[in-house]
Amino acid sequence: MTEQETLPARVPAAPELPPAAESGFAGLLAWAARTRPGAPALEVEGDETLTRAELAARVGALTGTLADAGVTEGAVVGMALDNRARSYVLILAAAALGATILPLNPGFQPAEFEALAEPARPSHLVALPHFADVHAALLAEHGVRIVDIEGAVPAAAGTAPAAESTPMREHPVWYGLTSGSTGLPKIISKTQGKWLDAASVLRSVLALDPRDRLLSAQPCYYGDPLMLFLACLQSGACFVLLSRFRSQTFMRNVADRAVTKFWTIGSMPAMLLNAPPGPSDRDHRAVAAWSIGIPRALHRPLEERFGLRWLEVYGSAEANVVLAQTPDSPSTPGEGWLGGIVPGQEIRMVDERGAELQGDGTGQLLVRGRLVIDGYLRNPEATAAAFTSDGWYRSGDIMERRGGRFRFVRREKEIVRRAGENISTEEVERVLRTHPLVQDAAVLPYADPIRGEEVWAVVEPVPGTRPEAGALAEHAGRHLARHKVPRFVSLIDALPRTPSERVAKRLLRDRDDLETIDLRPGDARIRKDTQ
């Protein structure tokens, strides 16, 4: 094998950003409104479509409203909103003031929000009314001011673009959350510059141009849609956002909205295959879809049913995009190869002892580069655990490398990935242990062909008691968002343990004698483990 054959392929670099973008989000927006003012920038299902000039005007109006509410450079603005145009207007307006957005799932319970309040230290909140009501006591305790933005974005906002601001490329603009794979979610601080660079990479990966209409159905508190939106602003494409993912109508939206490319995650591909066939499955303009982790057995059926290429992309909240296939990438559906390294990123692999692997083999992927974060917000211990002294991020993902190509094998981290949501097993276990009848608990993934994985709780009761599965789930639901609440519950006399007294979860996966209660029965296709 030659040296060239062992080197991983690389994704071509995107064209240079417009000079105005060097000042940050506001500079990019002003350039976008100036160069193609009448072109559609953002189309949201059930809401509205904004041209680039209209978007800039909305941002200008909301910037004034935020400033009047006391949002200044360095302020942190919590955002607990649904998928509407105002969410992206808010992000851009906060960026223009040098403020940082703290994206929040509107379904968070007080305990989940409280865990973020101290490290993030929000000063303001823009939220759906029910979120503000549920968290009223916590907001008052932390002195968080609620800002009403409805009046700042009238339907007829004019067309004057927002003014370019002072340089803010290095200003933090997004306090995103990690998956919480090894504990409670950690906060990632990303600057405007890192977002713009990551969007430029996606612009190259997706080969975006002004003729494209790029669709996403992810919630606005995810990072992916923001990256895609900024890539569209850079390239002249229109970003199309669905109010939420619905497998029954997804391809109809792709067809009716003249979408050319779209982005999926988690269980979305499997759910699309399980939806009833319809005329929109192939009667559309889309030429390619990208997904984070395409199930190998479903890859060819996806391409055959929907008549387009389904391409792989790999990354994380900490590292952004790392490996990706472009429309020109050669691939065989179902093989699982992840594509080339994106511009600005370096990768290497290490074995269980941390020694670097040379040539082909299996090991943990490490990433370093301009898209990788510097660490976790106000959490030096977690930063030291996740990063080497010379800046390599330990992904926790085990990869196979063969001939310069990479394929995902498994996660080293402890998570349940349900319908695209990464759920910390430790977070759910911690809540279950607060129930008065629970001695200890272990949470594991329970394989589901539709959602990918469901939450399975194996509970060791207090001796002499037998808690009801429904009562345990109800208790969890008082402290956790709905998607984190266990669907499956098993009771066990004593959890198996390692010599160091850690729960031996691998032994639980192999048990076939546990009575498992399905709290939402009716899907006989589910089984415990497909790994």
- The string of DSSP codes covering 279-297 is GGGTSS---EEEEES--HH
Unique residue bearing structure tokens 């990551």: 198
pLDDT of residue 525: 36
C-beta atoms surrounding 483 within 10 Å: 17
Cα–Cα distance between 256 and 374 in angstroms, integer? 42
Mean pLDDT of the residues in the chain:
89
Calculate the dihedral angle through the C-alpha atoms of 353, 358, 361, 365, rounding to the nearest 10 degrees.
Answer: 60
Unique residue bearing structure tokens 């360095």: 74
Cα–Cα distance between 289 and 341 in angstroms, integer? 19
pLDDT of residue 409: 83
Of 279, 250, 403, 413, nearest to 335 by C-alpha is: 403
Angstrom CA distances, 205 to 28, 241, 289, stand at 20, 19, 11
pLDDT at 64 over 90: yes
Cα–Cα distance between 63 and 79 in angstroms, integer? 15
pLDDT of residue 8: 59
Q: Which CATH architecture has domain 415-518?
A: 2-Layer Sandwich (3.30)
pLDDT at 163 over 60: no
What would the mean pLDDT of 373-395 be, rounded to a whole number?
95
81-121 residue pLDDT tens: 999 999 999 999 999 999 999 999 999 989 889 989 999 99
Contacts of 6 (CB under 8 A, 6+ apart): 359, 403, 404
Amino acid at 459: V
C-beta atoms surrounding 229 within 10 Å: 24
Q: Would you put residue 396 in left (φ > 0), alpha (ψ -120 to 50) or beta? A: left
Angstrom CA distances, 138 to 54, 135, 476, stand at 36, 5, 20
What would the mean pLDDT of 436-459 be, rounded to a whole number?
91
113-139 residue pLDDT tens: 998 999 999 999 999 999 999 999 999
Q: Which two tokens stand for residue 491?
A: 């009771």
Q: Lowest-confidence range among 139-153, 311-325, 479-493?
A: 139-153
Cα–Cα distance between 332 and 341 in angstroms, integer? 18
Q: Which two tokens stand for residue 269?
A: 């591909």
Cα–Cα distance between 195 and 371 in angstroms, integer? 8
Beta-strand relationship, 361-369 and 393-402 = antiparallel
Amino acid at 303: E
**DSSP per-residue codes, 445-465:** EEEETTTEEEEEEEEEEPTT-
Which 3-state string (H, E, C) describes 365-425?
A: EEEEECCCCCCECCCHHHHHHHECCCCCEEEEEEEEEECCEEEEEEECCCEEEECCEEEEH
Angstrom CA distances, 522 to 73, 446, 470, 518, 519, stand at 52, 15, 16, 9, 10
Contact (CB, 8 A) for 153 and 86: yes
For residues 293 and 303, the model is more confident at: 303
246-262 residue pLDDT tens: 999 999 999 999 999 99
What would the mean pLDDT of 162-178 be, rounded to a whole number?
82
Cα–Cα distance between 59 and 270 in angstroms, integer? 37
Contact (CB, 8 A) for 102 and 139: no
In the structure, what pLDDT confidence band is assigned to residue 430 with cuts at 50, 70 and 90?
A: confident
In the structure, what pLDDT confidence band is assigned to residue 3 with cuts at 50, 70 and 90?
A: very low
**DSSP per-residue codes, 132-162:** HHHTHHHHHHTTPEE---GGGS-S---SPPP
pLDDT of residue 156: 45
Cα–Cα distance between 174 and 78 in angstroms, integer? 10
Beta-strand relationship, 309-316 and 320-324 = antiparallel
Cα–Cα distance between 158 and 62 in angstroms, integer? 13
Q: Lowest-confidence range among 37-41, 158-162, 370-374, 431-435?
A: 158-162
For residues 293 and 205, the model is more confident at: 205
Q: Which two tokens stand for residue 115?
A: 């865990």
Q: How many helices (H) and strands (E) does the chain have?
A: 16, 25
pLDDT at 499 over 60: no
Cα–Cα distance between 371 and 362 in angstroms, integer? 24
Amino acid at 464: G
Q: Which two tokens stand for residue 184?
A: 């409670």
What would the mean pLDDT of 495-508 be, rounded to a whole number?
74
Calculate the dihedral angle through the C-alpha atoms of 145, 226, 28, 206, rounding to the nearest 10 degrees.
Answer: 180
Cα–Cα distance between 357 and 123 in angstroms, integer? 46
What would the mean pLDDT of 181-206 be, rounded to a whole number?
87
Q: At what angle do helices 192-205 and 224-235 cross, to 10 degrees?
A: 70
In the structure, what pLDDT confidence band is assigned to residue 13 with cuts at 50, 70 and 90?
A: confident
Amino acid at 229: F
Residue 440 in 3-state DSSP? strand
Cα–Cα distance between 223 and 232 in angstroms, integer? 15
Cα–Cα distance between 454 and 143 in angstroms, integer? 37
In the structure, what pLDDT confidence band is assigned to residue 146 with cuts at 50, 70 and 90?
A: very high
